[in-house]
Amino acid sequence: MVSPATPRSAPVLPSIDLLTWLHSAPQLMQRDPDFFLTARARCGDIYLLRGGASPMVMLGHPRHAQEILVEKGANYTKDSPIWDPLRSLLGNGLLVSGGSYWLRQRRMMQPQFHRQALAGMSALMSEAIAEELESWDRAAAEGRELTATEGFNALTMKVIVKTLFGGSIDQHEIAAVGNDMKFVLDFILQGILAKSLPSWVPLPGRQRYADTLRRLDDILFRIIRRSRDALASGKVSANLLSLLLNVSDEETRETMNDQQLRDEALTLFLAGYETTAAALAWAYQFMFDRPDVAQKLHAEVDAVLGQRTPTIADVSSLPYTKMILQEALRLRPPSFWTPRVALADDEIDGYPIKAGTTVAPITYVIHQHPEIWEHPERFDPERFLPERSQNRHRAAWIPFALGQHQCIGKEYAMLEGQLVLANLAQRYRIEAGQGRAARATLSATIRMEGGRRLKLTRRR
């Protein structure tokens, strides 16, 4: 007699409970991203993380990133409460908007980040780098060491403010806008507002936040009006704001209003400056332990550029410079994950995923997957040589994510990173100064704690 078939029960995901792990995982207490590597070693490439606001399915293999961000991208949305604190500041900016509004904005903005537009912008980038390096020159002359985070944050802040508004803003406004933007974003990211306390509860810094935001909005709207007037009188500028003022929706022919321009400008600033600064700061921390890498960088820059200031036309001739950046972004991806929410029920690796579940490909883990990367913990820029990258999974290196929400500033960031590295290598020998070894910590992004200072010696 044949026995009736028993219904196959769904496999159960391995899980980690943060509350029990808090005691046993010092990495977690220290917000060390290696916590994710330990969790993968214990549970495998897919597991459930419990103990936060709601359980999350954590994913650690490139095939997961490909599946969630690309193949099933329509079922996995960014519409998650994780972004709520940022929405209060960025309004409907590209990073936090969704649905048809996001699609319209993305379509209008995408061409402004293509190579041709970047070529126009790169002159502003180089100008900003040259201006900021005057203060690096002074530090070199005085024998003063720079902290990596401050040095690169100031540099990339100057670059983003100049490329956003350059030509439409004076030196005084550049400093004011940069500092105010940094303050309001830090305030939000620290999650002080995220605690969802009613707005009448006094919080330290809240009044300063409100005042700064008001002042910042005043300046931003003034710059937007000024740029509109300049455009109307036929003055053309290659800055991002002017490009965005000019674009219109293909179907409706509508252009962006002042509020939309303000939201997008603030978004580009947020998304673009600390991330790039972090990649550069880490690149130097890694190079301090690998003088051979710094030597090859100097050799390439000297051979290709000599004394000539690098431009966008040079970056394709600086492959080693690019590989240093790629490797720093592999080991310390500033954006360490790409959480998404399932719209409909699904299955990943045979495990059922209910609609409404948050799933998160962990870039940090994918970038060190032992099936893909040989000695994943080693800083080895040459792993990005074409002959060593040929058969690699296409979602193995995803610092800029993948799919429809892939970073719009990817080419911009790589261009800026290469220009900065080339300029620095040309001007200085940079050695490790005082300070303890850098430690990565989890915040809204992966941040650097500590870190050896930059000791600059002028090369010419």
Backbone angles phi, psi at 311, to 5 degrees: -130, 180
Give 286: exposed, middle or buried? Use CB within 10 Å, 0-12, 13-18, 19+: buried
Hey, which residues does 361 pair with through a beta bridge?
Answer: 59
Placement of tokens 């409907």 in the chain: 92
**212 forms part of the interface with ligand HEM (CB under 6 A):** no
Token pair for residue 444?
A: 């809204």
Would you count residue 326 as binding ligand HEM (CB under 6 A)?
no
CA distances to 75, 242, 410 from 71, in Å: 9, 35, 21
Under rule CB under 6 A, residue 268 binds ligand HEM: yes
Smallest separation (angstroms) from ligand HEM to the CB of 401: 4
Composition of the chain by helix, strand, coil, percent to 5: 55, 10, 35
Closest chain position to ligand HEM (CB): 409
Q: Over the Cα atoms of the chain, what is R_g?
A: 23
Residue 441: CB minimum distance to ligand HEM, A: 16
Tokens for 97?
């908007």
Contact region with ligand HEM (CB under 6 A), list: 53-61, 270-278, 288-296, 341-349: 270-278
Q: How far is CA 248 from the centre of its chain?
A: 27
Nearer to ligand HEM, 66 or 335 (CB): 335
Least gap, CB of 438 to ligand HEM (angstroms): 17
Nearest approach in angstroms of CB 58 to ligand HEM is 15
H runs (alpha helix) in 190-318: 206-232, 240-246, 258-288, 291-305
**CA atoms within 13 A of residue 48's CA, in its CB half-sphere:** 16
SS3 431: strand
Token pair, residue 28, equals: 């977690």
Is the dihedral angle over the CA atoms 133, 139, 142, 145 positive or is it negative? negative
Kindly tell me which of 140 and 360 has the beta carbon lying closer to ligand HEM.
Answer: 360
Query: Which residues in 311-371 belong to E strands, given as ranges?
Result: 340-342, 346-348, 351-353, 358-361
- Of 399 and 433, the one with the shorter C-beta distance to ligand HEM is 399
Among positions 62, 399, 433, 451, the unique one binding ligand HEM when judged by CB under 6 A: 399
**Given the complex with ligand HEM, which of 25 and 168 has the nearer CB atom?**
168
Q: How far is the CB of 70 from ligand HEM (least distance, A)?
A: 12
Q: What is the DSSP letter of 447?
A: E
Residue with tokens 């590295």: 421
Please give the size of the binding site for ligand HEM, defined by CB under 6 A.
Answer: 23
Q: Which of 212, 275, 321, 423 binds ligand HEM (CB under 6 A)?
A: 275
Residue 407 contacts ligand HEM per CB under 6 A: yes
106 touches ligand HEM (CB under 6 A): yes
Q: Residue 47 or 336: which CB sits closer to ligand HEM?
A: 336
Residues forming a β-bridge with 146: 454
* Listed ranges 45-53, 165-173, 267-275, 428-436: which one lies at the site for ligand HEM (CB under 6 A): 267-275
> Among 267, 321, 357, 418, which residue sits at the site for ligand HEM (rule: CB under 6 A)?
267
Confirm or reject binding of residue 272 to ligand HEM (CB under 6 A). Answer: yes
Query: 28 or 446: whose CB is closer to ligand HEM?
Result: 446
DSSP state of 385: S
Only segment of 55-63, 266-274, 305-313, 343-351 that touches ligand HEM (CB under 6 A): 266-274
Contact stretch for ligand HEM (CB under 6 A) within 49-57, 181-189, 380-388, 395-403 = 395-403
Q: Does 265 bind ligand HEM (CB under 6 A)?
A: no
Of 133, 279, 323, 444, the one binding ligand HEM (CB under 6 A) is 279
Taking CB under 6 A as the criterion, which residues in 330-369 touch ligand HEM? 334-335, 338
Q: How far is the CB of 26 from ligand HEM (least distance, A)?
A: 27
To ligand HEM, the closest distance from the beta carbon of 82 in angstroms equals: 9
Written in H, E and C, the secondary structure of 49-109 is EECCCCCEEEECCHHHHHHHHHHCHHHEECCCHHHHHHHHHHCCCCCCCCHHHHHHHHHHH
Which span (32-40, 291-299, 404-412, 449-457) binds ligand HEM, by CB under 6 A?
404-412
Which position among 413, 421, 422, 424 is part of the footprint of ligand HEM (CB under 6 A)? 413
Amino acid identity of residue 17, one-letter, is: D
| DSSP label at residue 362 | B
* Positions in the binding site for ligand HEM (CB under 6 A): 78, 94-95, 106, 267-268, 271-272, 275-276, 279, 334-335, 338, 399-401, 405, 407-409, 412-413
